[in-house]
Structure 1
Amino acid sequence: MNATSIIQSVQTLQSNILQHVHHRALLQNVGQPTLQEEQLFFIQLPFLNGAQMNDDRKISAITVGIVHASLLEHEKVMEVEATSKEQQLIVLSGDYYSGRYYQLLAQTGNILLIQKLSRGIVNRCEHQIRLYEPEQRSLEQWVQSLMIIESELISQYYDVYGFTAYTDLMQNTLTYIRLKKELQLIQKGQNGFLYRVLALADNPAAIPSAAESIDEQLTVYKKRLREIVKHMNLHNDLKQSIEQYITV
């Protein structure tokens, strides 16, 4: 296992996902689906670290990637001008990707995976819906919601195939990466999940304090991740890849 092999494995999964959701009209109008490289890495991680790959697991990995793509498309829909042609096509693209992963799941006949991914989708969406609820929550609670949003589908996938030894590492890394993105948006005064739930648009004076609190959370997660990596049975190149995620 080396850095080149890791990159090629992630790129292969990406290509397989794009092949399964290819649609010329959608590609021309809304572009390729969003596939987050770090999530693809963690879908592949057990196999990169020595787990056996077979046809069932290959299709399951592709399916998890398509589910992520479908949900991310729906997140792109704006709250205003949601009836524009582009916005309607984004909704349709999300629905189309949903149909493709339903097809793949039906072909596998893997009832447990279907059950687990369905549960993961529900849980993930429930935490996204909290964005629109009036209940006040702490930053720590919102960060937990971000962890569910970023990692729940892969957690369920790991559970199906007995890859739960990687769950803690995956959850904390993906949360750390998402927190870094959220912090950058807040520092730029741009709309993001935490920017919205912390109502920073209505209270710009609170931005420095919020940014400082998120930075403190990042420090905690970085320390935790390095302890997890230190004690995990991972190839050195995989440890280096994860280290890059928490230092870049």
Structure 2
Amino acid sequence: MAFISKTYQQEFQTILRTVQDETSDPLVVNVIGKLPIPRLALALQYLYFKEQYTPFDAIRDYCISTVLIQMGLNVHNEVPSGSETPSSSVHDRYQQFQVLAGDLYSGRFYQILAYRGDTRIIRFLSDAVSVINQARTNLYDLFQNNELTVALYVQEMEKIGTALIKAWFQYERKHEGTKWESVVSNLLTAEKLLSDSNDTVPVHWQPSVVSQLKQRAMQLIAHSRSLVQEWSTLEIKRELEHLIDVSFPGTTQLGKTAEDY
């Protein structure tokens, strides 16, 4: 993940290194490996705070606390494959470490924000976690009852991928939050749909359904490009355009051809 501005790049790398340090518990890494950092979400949140002229120490703490929650929730949601768990005892141990790692990393956000005295932020991020957990429960119920459609899948995945960052926009209650909410929701949902279309969509879904997910992702990316074209802060506009290019290579012309947003 690279920014055009050298200052932005240096600050983002500082945040990224801190996240890596916070999620590098030797025992957890030895058992379940290093956790992937949701860099696109982290970069979008960073740019939002830069546009608000938020001091860097606050940006750092807010971004780190949010991404730690997301990583903790993500590791809770992972399911080990059979090749990774050859016996029930190994399977149980792996799952125990998933729970421990998730609790360890997501729980650290309390510590970071408590030191800042930001109890209101702890409250609204906790509410966002409830939204994510409810969405995951909804997906499970829909799948178990064979009622999961593409539209419902996209709807719940959007909640899972964006609830934490959108909570910041709603908390800030600034006019700019509306456009940020749209762009962030589009891009993070598109990222999730493209990832899932290659890996984790329900096995009974036909290839045509996977194609629908990819098509929807392309529409979301195109819509984001169109929204960014109207951005008022030129420096942030350039960074967002660059971020989309880097995160979704090969989609440069989508903003000119997208339909049915």
Task: Indicate the percent of aligned positions where both proteins have the same amino acid.
Answer: 20
Aligned match of 2:128: 120
Aligned match of 1:27: 29
RMSD: 2.5
Amino acid at match of 1:14: L
1:232-243 matched pairs, under 5 angstroms: 232-233=231-232, 234-243=236-245
**Cα distance, 1:149 vs. partner?**
0.8
Aligned match of 1:59: 61
1:69-148 matched pairs, under 5 angstroms: 69-78=71-80, 81=88, 83-133=91-141, 134=145, 136-148=147-159
Amino acid at match of 2:44: F
Q: Secondary structure at the match of 2:37?
A: coil
Structure 2 gaps, min length 5: 83-87, 251-261
Size of the aligned set, in residue pairs, is 233
What is the CA–CA distance in structure 2 between the aligned matches of 1:238 and 1:218, rounded to whole Å?
A: 17
Aligned match of 2:254: none
Q: 1:244 aligns with which of 243, 246, 254?
A: 246
**In the superposition, relative to structure 1, how do residues 106 and 139 fare at CA in structure 2: closer, same or farther (>3 Å)?**
same
**Cα distance, 1:70 vs. partner?**
0.6
**Cα distance, 1:243 vs. partner?**
3.0
**Cα distance, 1:3 vs. partner?**
5.4
Aligned match of 2:258: none
Contact 1:38 1:174 in 2 (8 A): yes
What is the CA–CA distance in structure 1 between the aligned matches of 2:239 and 2:122, rounded to whole Å?
A: 32
Amino acid at match of 1:17: V
Q: Secondary structure at the match of 1:34?
A: coil
Q: In the alignment, is residue 39 of structure 1 matched against residue 41 of structure 2? A: yes
**In the superposition, relative to structure 1, how do residues 2 and 48 fare at CA in structure 2: closer, same or farther (>3 Å)?**
farther
What is the CA–CA distance in structure 2 between the aligned matches of 1:166 and 1:35, rounded to whole Å?
A: 21
Q: Secondary structure at the match of 1:35?
A: coil
Amino acid at match of 2:190: Y
Q: Which moved more, 1:158-167 or 1:60-69?
A: 158-167
What is the CA–CA distance in structure 1 between the aligned matches of 2:215 and 2:61, rounded to whole Å?
A: 39
Q: Secondary structure at the match of 2:206?
A: helix
Contact 2:162 2:188 in 1 (8 A): yes
Q: 2:185 aligns with which of 171, 182, 186?
A: 171
**Cα distance, 1:112 vs. partner?**
1.9
**Cα distance, 1:217 vs. partner?**
1.3
**Cα distance, 1:27 vs. partner?**
2.7
Q: In the alignment, is residue 181 of structure 1 matched against residue 189 of structure 2? A: no
| TM-score in terms of structure 2 length | 0.78
**Cα distance, 1:158 vs. partner?**
2.9
| TM-score in terms of structure 1 length | 0.82
